[in-house]
Amino acid sequence: MTAEHPLTGRLRKYHSNFYYVEAEGVLYECALRGIIKKEGTEPLVGDFVELDSVHLPSKTARINRVLARKNAITRPKLANVDQVIVVYSLKEPEFDPHQMDRYLTHIELAGLTPILCISKADLAQTETDLANIQTLYADGLGYQVFFTSVKKPESLDALRALTKHKISVLAGPSGSGKSSLLNTLNQHLRLRVGEVSEKISRGQHTTRHVELLTLFEEEPDTLIADTPGFSNLKFNYVLPDRLQEVFRDFAELRPHCSFSDCLHVDEEGCAVRADEAVINGTRYQSYLNMLAESRLYKEAASVSSQKEEFGYKQLDRKGKDALRILRLKEKNRDASRRTVRQQVSLLEQHDQAEESLEEEVQESETD
């Protein structure tokens, strides 16, 4: 390494305020150059970074620069990813199509095509359990769907083949069996796995950090990220038009809607709604739930940009009115459901709690 050719590597893990960077076969424990923190451009696991102050004997260095990334996902937080595999168990925890749709949509919004792994297939009571999922997601929507069980390691073969020479991420709820899958692919990994009963009663996460792992020494370009489980993905970061765009269910009919900005709810001349039988009812309900969050986001965004233009007082009121009307609309649609506003705020609280989880764990581990 010279001044013209500084050492670069890939960030594998962030833990207890240290960044672990793999460069030329060595894992360096790295601190971050102050300016990167100041600018708020901290690297994500999967990022390529430039190192300085490299000290080989102690395997320490400093991250001097974060190189441009080709993509990034926010939950779990990773950069430069080739594919995301959503691991959702058939049972324990019970398969939830609305949650699954949230994961799929979140990944599509990041510009990636999700792959579905339905784990714990050994817990299927009837063949129909599996067939229904296959019909909806594979035959209907064209996603790749794999059914796996760690009790039948050969059930992982097809999934394993798909990960070769790629950077893959396992995402999904806590307890769905992400770490167990990796342990089954390579017993030497010995990742911690949890007890389902414990998780349900205590809301425990077994995996605490995102980590990019080399699955097999002889295949250094195959990397898989094990990640902490999460749920309650919210869609208050995306505009409604973009949301409907990634919903592949609408792809064929969308061009025939009368209005180009149709959101396929109750607009006149909507081709998607013209024949209710065309779109799966469960999927459509998932869409409506996400759309409600996305609309709130749009309202809030437009109010805050107007505030900048026209001054605050007047528009504060306008913004509150907009939210109140939305709330009422939602209430009318389903009186028994919590208002979307409340849902969003609950999700925000949940998210903050999850984000502080890593810090808490780090603190308790260093105690």
Ligand X SMILES: Nc1nc2c(ncn2[C@@H]2O[C@H](COP(=O)(O)OP(=O)(O)OP(=O)(O)O)[C@@H](O)[C@H]2O)c(=O)[nH]1
- Is the Cβ of residue 114 or residue 228 nearer to ligand X in the bound state? 228
Residue 135 CA to residue 31 CA, distance in Å, equals 49
Q: How far is 238 from 233, CA to CA, in rounded Å?
A: 12
CA distances in angstroms from 207 to 13, 148, 225, listed in the order given: 13, 20, 11
How far, in Å, are 125, 269, 340 from residue 229 at the CA level? Answer: 25, 41, 24
Q: Mention every residue, 6+ apart, whose C-beta is less than 8 A from residue 332.
A: none
| Residue 151 binds: one of ligand X, Zn ion, Mg ion, none (C-beta under 5 to 8 A by kind) | ligand X
Count of residues interacting with Zn ion (CB under 5 A): 5
> Among residues 73, 78, 262, 340, which is the contact residue for Zn ion, using CB under 5 A?
262
Q: Which stretch binds ligand X (CB under 6 A): 22-30, 41-49, 171-179, 355-363?
A: 171-179
First to last CA, the chain: 37
Of positions 179, 236, 286, 294, contacts Mg ion by CB under 5 A: 179
Residue of the chain from 168, 206, 236, 286 that contacts ligand X (CB under 6 A): 206
Q: Which of 207, 236, 286, 343 binds Mg ion (CB under 5 A)?
A: 207
Using DSSP bridges, classify how beta strands 60-66 and 115-119 pair: parallel, antiparallel or unpaired.
Answer: unpaired
Cβ at position 196, least distance to ligand X in Å: 5
Distance (Å) of CA 20 to CA 46, 115, 144: 11, 28, 33
Residue 29 to residue 186: CA distance in whole angstroms: 25
Strand partners, 214: 223
Q: For ligand X, give the closer residue by CB, 89 or 294.
A: 89
Nearer to Zn ion, 264 or 295 (CB): 264
* Residue with Cβ nearer Mg ion (32 or 181): 181
Q: How far is the CB of 162 from Zn ion (least distance, A)?
A: 34
Tokens of 76: 């779990």
205 is an interface residue for Zn ion by CB under 5 A: no
The token duo for 169 is 């991420």
* Closer of 141 and 253 to Zn ion (Cβ): 253
Shortest approach of Zn ion to residue 269 CB, angstroms? 8
SS3 339: coil
Closest CB 227 distance from ligand X, rounded Å? 7
250: closest CA among 78, 69, 108? Answer: 108
Distance (Å, whole) CA 243 – CA 261: 12
Query: Any contact of residue 76 with ligand X (CB under 6 A)?
Result: no
| Binding of ligand X by 265 (CB under 6 A) | no
Q: Which partner in ligand X, Mg ion, Zn ion, none is near 174 (CB below 5 to 8 A by kind)?
A: ligand X
Residues 117-146, one symbol each (x = binds ligand X by CB under 6 A, - = not), give: --xx-xx-----------------------
Q: Is 206 in the site for Mg ion (CB under 5 A)?
A: yes
- 195 lies in the binding site for ligand X (CB under 6 A): yes
SS3 for 262-309 is CCCCCCCCCHHHHCCCCCCHHHHHHHHHHHHHHHHHHHHHHHHHHHHH
Chain contacts with ligand X (rule: CB under 6 A): 119-120, 122-123, 149-151, 174-180, 193-196, 205-207, 228-229
Q: Which residues bind Zn ion (CB under 5 A)?
A: 257, 262, 264, 270, 272
